[in-house]
Amino acid sequence: MLDILHLKKYYATQKAVDDISLHIKQGSIFGLLGPNGAGKSSLLRMVTGITMPDAGSITLNGEHFSLQQHSKQIGYMPEERGLYKRMKVGEQTMYLAQLKGLSKNEALQKMNEWFDKLDMQSWKNKKVEDLSKGMSQKLQFVITVLHEPSLLILDEPFSGLDPVNSSVIKEEIYNLAQKGTTIIFSTHRMEQVEEICEEIALMNKGQLILQGSVHDVKQQFKQNKYALQVSKPIEGFEQVIKSQSGNRYELQFTDEQDADKLLMHCLQQKNRIISYHEILPSLNDIFIHLVEGGAARKFENYQA
């Protein structure tokens, strides 16, 4: 669906995007992660046609990407929301839809469909400045998807949304993906990425440092950590016990056989195993691990 090859964008002082190649499948939900200043916005701006790359190519469904041709196929919701504050909700929606190339009738019909679906009909004559932050977020989402783009680019789509609206939007994102819309979204909030995205890419300092499915990435970075809960304290095995609280243990094995030995030992001691499972690293941990190698800023993990 979307192929990015050796994309580069250099500014006077920094390499914002330094030789990035990505392949994104149609209908997939792709998470683009990275700390502030990693070059995510620069990359997304090139994919939306807002800026031109210095080198490299962007191909959309096999065609060379150009804003002129493909603007209607792309829906972009920038990180910092942009709407005319003093314009009425209805007028603004119509205007932006028509700018995307919809006819007046199409725009009106699509607007009514979405406004009915998301219960926004009563907002039509309100000015944007009179909407709450969550409401204008919702409006921005509708405006982004109204013209049925085949590639949807969402920058932090859930910030400012309450849990109810958040799940409404999430639902719509799933629906769109199921209908074949390809979705790229960039976010700081790792728990959402783990929940929603099939594939992810991590960016830092303009470069791609990791790419793959969430499952593969976690497997790749697992550190053989396990959690064990038993009925009475374990004796010995100090070298594998990383931490302990009561009869709950966090274990780290360097050799898989150590795990078998420990479990055997517990069973022999009639120490009942209440639970035993692998601790997979969170994306957050992986990211910090990868980025802290360099002098990158600490990754910001927002707790919603």
Partner 1 sequence: MLKTWLIIQREYLTRVRKKSFLVTTFLIPIAMVAISSIMIFMAVKSEQKQRIAVIDETGVFTNKLDTTSSSYEIKYIAKSNDEKHTVLEKNESDILLHIYPIHNGVPDSIHIYKDGGVSLNAKQFLNSEVNNVFQMKQMQDAGINKEKIDSITELSLDVKSFDLQSNKETNTEISTVIGYAMGFLIYLVILIYGMGVMRGVSEEKTNRIAEVIISSVKPFQLMMGKIVGIALVGLTQFILWLVLTGVLHSFLPFLIPGLGLSSSVGMSTAEMQQAQSASASQLAPMLQMLYSQNWILLIGCFLFYFLGGYFIYAAMFAAVGSLVNEDPQEAQQMTLPVTMPIIIAFFIMMTATRDPNSTLAVFGSMFPLTSPIVMMARIPYGIPGWQIALSMLFLVLGFIGMTWLGAKIYRTGILMYGKKVTWKEVYKWIRYS
CA 248 to chain centre: 33
Give the separation between CA 9 and CA 52, rounded to whole angstroms: 8
Q: Which of 87, 142, 98 is nearest to 120 (CA)?
A: 142
Under the criterion CB under 8 A, does residue 84 sit at the interface with partner 1?
yes
CA distance 150 to 170: 17
Token pair of 201 as six digits: 């890419």
Closest CA to 40 of 56, 58, 25, 20: 20
**Residues 97-116: x where in contact with partner 1 by CB under 8 A, - otherwise, as a string:** -xxxx---------------
Q: Considering the rule CB under 8 A, would residue 174 count as an interface residue with partner 1?
A: no
Instruction: Determine the longest span between alpha carbons in the chain, in angstroms.
Output: 77
78 contacts partner 1 (rule: CB under 8 A): yes
193: tokens are: 């990425």
Per CB under 8 A, the list member of 23, 25, 86, 277 interacting with partner 1 is: 86
Question: How far apart are CB 143 and partner 1 at their closest, in Å?
Answer: 8
68 or 122: CB nearest partner 1: 68
DSSP state of 78: -
Residues 215-274 that bind partner 1 (CB under 8 A): none
Residue for token pair 């969430």: 214
Which of 15-23, 63-71, 207-215, 267-275 is the region at the interface with partner 1 (rule: CB under 8 A)? 63-71
Which of the ranges 92-100, 112-120, 222-230, 248-256 carries the binding residues for partner 1, by CB under 8 A? 92-100
Q: Does residue 95 interact with partner 1 by CB under 8 A?
A: yes
In this structure, what token pair is assigned to residue 92? 């603004």
Decide if 51 contacts 45 (C-beta within 8 A).
yes
71 binds partner 1 (CB under 8 A): yes
Judged by CB under 8 A, which stretch of 27-35, 41-49, 235-243, 271-279 contacts partner 1? 41-49
Residue 152 CB, nearest approach to partner 1 (Å)? 12
Separation of alpha carbons 200 and 184, rounded Å = 9
Q: Which residues bind partner 1 (CB under 8 A)?
A: 12, 45, 48-51, 67-68, 71, 74, 76-78, 80-87, 95-96, 98-101, 143
